[in-house]
Amino acid sequence: MQYKIQGKYFEDWEVGEEFETSRRTITEADAAFFIGLSGDYNPLYIDEEFAKTTDLGTRPPHEFLVYSISSGLINTTTFFDGTLISQKSHKLEFLKRTLNEDTIYVKVKVLEKNNLGKPDLGEVVFDAAILDQNDEVCVKGKRTYLIKKRKPN
């Protein structure tokens, strides 16, 4: 069995190139599931009576759930299937709370490419902003991925 690589190689990415992911509505089920997986039982996310006393007035889904879902959305483009070596770094800035039933998508733009002087891999830096149904930026993100280079023929 041979795996056919669908993703884009380092050479295929161009600085300035942009793409958008498909969208996903964040549900209360997603929020509850993430609490269980991560183990973050802070009342901010799970206690509605407490949350009523906060500025927001309700439980929001976890910030890192929103970020993790954005990663899934990016992956479903298949641009990274078989060519991603690792997710080297992430810089996240939370600008606006995402609430349950908000629909998010990710706008991605290639900021820079670093050759790293290696024969087999290079680094691609993406600006990846998470937007909601009103096209407002909820999370500003910068992702640095290590990506395979094509093998010389």
Binding site for other proteins (CB under 8 A): 1, 3, 30, 33-34, 37-44, 47, 49-55, 60, 62-65, 67-69, 71-73, 75-76, 80-82, 84-94, 97
3-state SS, 77-135, equals CCCCCCCEEEEEEEEEEECCCCCCCCEEEEEEEEEEEECCCCCCEEEEEEEEEEECCCC
CB nearer other proteins, residue 67 or residue 131: 67
CB nearer other proteins, residue 131 or residue 141: 141
Closest separation in Å from C-beta 118 to other proteins: 12
Closest to 114 in 3D by CA, of 89, 134, 79, 93: 89
Closest separation in Å from C-beta 34 to other proteins: 7
CB nearer other proteins, residue 42 or residue 133: 42
Determine contact, residues 26/69, Cβ cutoff 8 Å.
yes
